Chains A and B, each alone.
Chain A
Amino acid sequence: MVGAENLITRPSELVVYECDGYTLEKETPPAVVFPNSTEAVASVVRVCREHEVPVLARGAGTGLAGGATPLGGGVVLSLARMKKILDISLRDRMVHVQAGVLNLELSSLLSDTHWHFAPDPSSQVACTIGGNIATNAGGPHTLKYGVTVNHVLGVTWVAGTGEVIQVGPEATSAEFDWIGLWTGSEGTLGVATEAWLRLTPLPLAHRTFRVIFQSVEDACNAVSRIIAAGLIPAAMELMDRGILQAVEDAFHFGFPSEAEAILVVELDGIPIALDEQERIVAQLCRDCHAQEIVSAASEEERALLWRCRKSAVGAVGRLSTGYFIQDGVVPRTRLPELVRRVANIGCERGVRIVNVAHAGDGNIHPILLFDERDPDEVRRAMAAGRAILEACIELGGSITAEHGVGIEKLPLMTALFSPDDLDVFWRVKRVFDPANIMTPGKLLPPPPRLSQQDEKNGQPR
């Protein structure tokens, strides 16, 4: 089916596949396969379906919610060897790639053109297109450019039935929006093996600056005001004092050590319009007690600033041996409130929490630090993480904006959705994965049991 060289079954080689970027839960898989083609993926799925063996797709294993962790003994289907660029058609503003191609590889491949692939998750140096599709990955620039699903034109999909389905790249009114449904389904409906991706022109100019605030709340207020003023910057990214310490240690950027929060704002577009926008943004920031506003002096400085931001989570290793990252999202105006609550939760439970946020989207990543050798510390961190997500739900938000539910946020799905809502998800799941072999036990809690009364009446909530 895939050949011996594309199969791992030796226990000593399986150990490294027991988790992804989320390390709190682990399980060694019985096997790892490395298919080279869509057909091979389909045969693996078909065989697994026949034998009712769970199967989990894995890209680069940079996910933060345990999406690639083989809990329950699933075969790991690694797409790391499917990394062909199949076609570049600039006339169509489109590339056709296999799922194992790296996100950043696309942009470097197009470096001598003015095109790029817009979704830029922080792990973009390493993560794969397939993984981006599975989680509907976002990133700093989603504020203006949208998330992965907004940039996928077509997909070759292996459903849980083992059938290969090609959708797009031409859209038609005669079909459902499969791409919309599959993107973000975290491997539970099937696996993307190829994709046609939309390219975006690089902006003509950037204005990137960092604004230093005395408090995280001030920074969040500034974000809210900027959006309310009718401006959509390309990105608005927040780092608090805790994470800045790690970032400074890693990259020696020169952030002032006394800064409580830094907001990185990037405006892009046509130069003539940017001057005016920059003036407005600066004024709004000053209104929110900004201490200092510094523009990136050069393209190198801008690149370093972005490297600081995008590698911030990885740099946490400098603060702690273990961490656990949350992905809460609330309506933007509720962000200051959420930040306050996160700080309180940390204090109350004795957990050190540092924050990075895609503030413009209302999406915050509190990072909870612990020593993984101390079970009590781990327990407290996990409880704090849960409390944070409950706060997000209370504030009208959601438990994940871009990392996905995986296994880590599974317990909160019932808090966010009613049994009827979850039942809707199960209807979808059963159509594409009737045997429940595709990444089972992730994303969806076990099917809700409606009481017989409910079932009969079909009463809405």
Chain B
Amino acid sequence: MNDPSVSTTLPSRDAKPGRAAPLPVTIPEEKILSCVHCGLCTATCPTYTLLGDENDSPRGRIYLMHAVVQGRLPITESVQTHLDRCLDCRACETACPSGVEYSRILEPFRLATAQAQPSWKRRADWFRQVVLLRIFPYPERIRRALTPIRLLQKAGLYEPMERMGLWDLLPARLRAMLTLVNASVPAGPPLPDFLPAKGRRRARVAFFVGCVADAMFRHVHWATVRVLQENGCDVVIPGGQCCCGAIHYHVADEEGAKRFADQNVRAFPVHDVDAVIVNHAGCGAMLKDYGHYWKDSQTPKRQEFAAKVRDINEFLDQLGLVPPIHPANLTVAYHDACHLAHAQGIVAQPRRLLSQIPGLRLVPLPESNMCCGSAGSYNLLHHDLATRLGRRKLENILRTGAEVVLASNAGCLLQIEREIRRARAPVAVLHPMELLDACYRGEKPRGTTNGRMARPSRAGRNTSGNVAG
């Protein structure tokens, strides 16, 4: 009786059930129906874990969306809130045995609901309009915006001011952003157009630079390209590339995202390289998704580009790592960035790379694949939940007794570093490439005392009686 290809349009905010005004974006009902309501996803969902409300679980959100699509529910404020609270970490997709493409239900739904909003309301959100859409995608603007903070950091005033609670005087989201700023690290010059392989040439790759990543993590970029060189890769850094567009996409500016995507597709010489390398999970997941987001004449080109995109961990693991000679006598925990583990399915690769570093002791991080609360711009928009997730991550990290915690994503690095800084814990927060790079160069990884004995402490657990075993 039902044609499976039928898509349903969203009823608009004020529509009465059954009298939905058609919207430009359609939700494929088949994708919704592929959820059989088993609930196995709930436990992996960070917001459900924190809040315990089915409305804040993947299964519940799909149910809400289905109810809206069926016309049973209007898009009320509360529906919107529960959907907005989703971190889009996609842990549920990893957990789902039925292969429900949660993100591909949620994303178009969010776009549609946003577009259903009166445009004045969208424009009135200064934070979204100015900070997220006008500053973030542009590394130079971020750097300029950060200048006062960097100066304060240099003058040694930043941390005292943070501790005095001065930031509390600022609007919440600005404050959230401010506290996220990482410690000032010598960034090095902008990357050149080309860097040659060391030793035998094994591959030729193009490197994706990005926006926030370039503005705040250029040192990671340098580490990454050096690691690539060490592994026999010629590295091309194409000019004309830009932000991946993820921020725009996630705050429902689809057109903006598409413009960035097409600019990148034009900028990268995909036929000339073996892979397009990206070292931050969020950007990587977006680049890999270029192929299916928009359907128009450019689609084949976007698909071609997307097929070449590789995360640095994935690429090195595939290529076969040239193991570093210098040891890292460190206890290390690895945090699975959501957009690496859940969106790209890259879990084993970084661990395999790390296991090849002499002396390194990789300890399991409890809940390693639970979101740290960063989630793109989430920590700016849902500060309270993000902070609770950050605290939870911190506690898990401290429990391992690790001296270094690694993450392959800018957002996670910022979020975790903030928590570590607040707790004044002696843990270095690094990108895996920084650690590898240090081991190739025989340097002490940033923020560590390489060579120190591993601390035996296993942090306190609520245990009574004698712990045997």
Residues of A within 8 A of B (CB): 8, 10, 12-13, 15-17, 19-21, 23, 34, 60-62, 78, 80-81, 83, 85-92, 100, 102, 104, 108-109, 112-115, 123, 125-127, 249-250, 311-318, 321-323, 371-374
CB of B34 closer than 8 Å to a CB of A: yes
User: A112-B458, A312-B97 in contact; A12/B76 too (CB < 8 A)?
Assistant: yes
**Cβ-defined contact, B43 with A371, below 8 A:** no
Name the A residues within 8 Å of B37 (CB-CB): 19-21, 23
Q: B34 near A15 (CB under 8 angstroms)?
A: no
Interface string of B41-59 (1 = CB under 8 A from A): 1111000100011110001
- In whole angstroms, how far apart are the Cα atoms of A90 and B467 in the complex? 6
Complex interface bits, B186-214 against A, C-beta within 8 A gives 1, otherwise 0: 00000000000000000000000000000
CB distance from B95 to the nearest CB of A (A): 7
CB atoms of B463 and A88 under 8 A apart: yes
CA distance A311 to B99 in the complex (A): 11
Assembled-state Cα–Cα distance A156/B317 (Å): 51
B38 touches A125 (CB 8 A): no
Q: Which residue of A lies closest to B366 (CB)?
A: A108
**Given the contacts A88-B462, A250-B99, A16 and B63 also touching, CB distance less than 8 Å:** yes
Whole-angstrom distance from the CB of B98 to the nearest CB of chain A? 3
Q: With A10-B78, A12-B79, A16-B55 given, is the CB distance from A321 to B34 under 8 Å?
A: yes
Shortest distance in angstroms between A250's beta carbon and chain B's nearest beta carbon? 5
A60-B43, A316-B98 given; A8·B465 CB < 8 A: no
Closest B residue, CB atoms, query A247? B97
- Nearest A residue to B52 by beta-carbon distance? A80
Contact A20 B39, beta carbon cutoff 8 Å: yes
CB nearest neighbor in B for A102: B43
As a 0/1 sequence over residues 450 to 469 of chain B, the CB contacts with chain A under 8 angstroms (1 = contact) are 00000000100111111111
**With contact pairs A62-B40, A125-B44, A249-B99 given, residues A317 and B34 touching in the complex (Cβ less than 8 Å):** yes
User: How distant is the Cα of A62 from the Cα of B53 in the complex, in angstroms?
Assistant: 14
Cα A314 to Cα B67 with chains together (Å): 21
- A90 with B63: CB separation less than 8 A: no
Inter-chain contacts of B98 with A (CB < 8 A): 250, 314-318
Shortest CB distance B30–A (Å): 8
Known A87-B464, A113-B469: A16·B36 in contact at CB below 8 Å: no
**Would you call B55 and A13 a contact (CB within 8 A)?**
yes
**Size bracket of the B interface:** 35 or more
Question: CA A123 – CA B22 in complex, angstroms?
Answer: 39
Query: Is B42 touching A321 in the complex (CB atoms < 8 A)?
Result: no
Q: How far is the CB of B303 from chain A (nearest CB, A)?
A: 23
Given A21-B37, A126-B41; A373-B52 close (CB under 8 Å):
no
Cβ A313 vs Cβ B461 within 8 A: no
Checking B40, B48, B60 against A314 with a beta-carbon cut-off of 8 angstroms, the contacting residue is B40
- Tell me if A90 and B40 are in contact (CB < 8 A): no
**B64, CB-defined interface residue at 8 Å:** yes
Please measure, in the bound complex, the distance between the C-alpha atom of A313 and the C-alpha atom of B38, giving whole angstroms.
Answer: 8
Q: Establish whether residues A21 and B38, one from each chain, have CB atoms under 8 Å apart when the complex forms.
A: yes
Contact B466 A91, beta carbon cutoff 8 Å: yes
CA separation between A438 and B82, bound complex, in Å?
Answer: 30
**Residues on A with beta carbons closer than 8 Å to the beta carbon of B464:** 87-89
Q: Could you tell me the distance between the alpha carbons of A112 and B399 in the complex, rounded to whole angstroms? A: 12
B34 to chain A: which residues have CB within 8 Å? Answer: 317-318, 321
A15–B73 CB distance below 8 A:
yes
Given contacts A21-B39, A61-B59, A312-B97, 20 further A-B contacts (CB under 8 A): A10-B76, A10-B78, A12-B73, A12-B79, A23-B36, A60-B42, A62-B40, A90-B466, A90-B469, A100-B52, A113-B468, A115-B469, A125-B40, A313-B97, A317-B35, A317-B100, A318-B98, A321-B30, A373-B1, A374-B1
The verdict on B2 contacting chain A, using a C-beta distance below 8 Å, is: yes
Given contacts A91-B466, A314-B98, contact A13 B78 (CB under 8 A): yes
Contact residue among B36, B67, B79 (Cβ-Cβ distance under 8 Å from A322): B36
| A297 to B309 alpha-carbon distance, docked (Å) | 33
**Docked CA distance A336–B369 (Å):** 42
A113 to B34, CA, bound (A): 39
B75 to chain A: closest residue by CB: A12
Knowing A21-B38, A85-B462, A314-B97, the reply to whether A126 touches B43 (Cβ < 8 A) is yes
- Which chain A residue shows the least CB distance to B2? A373
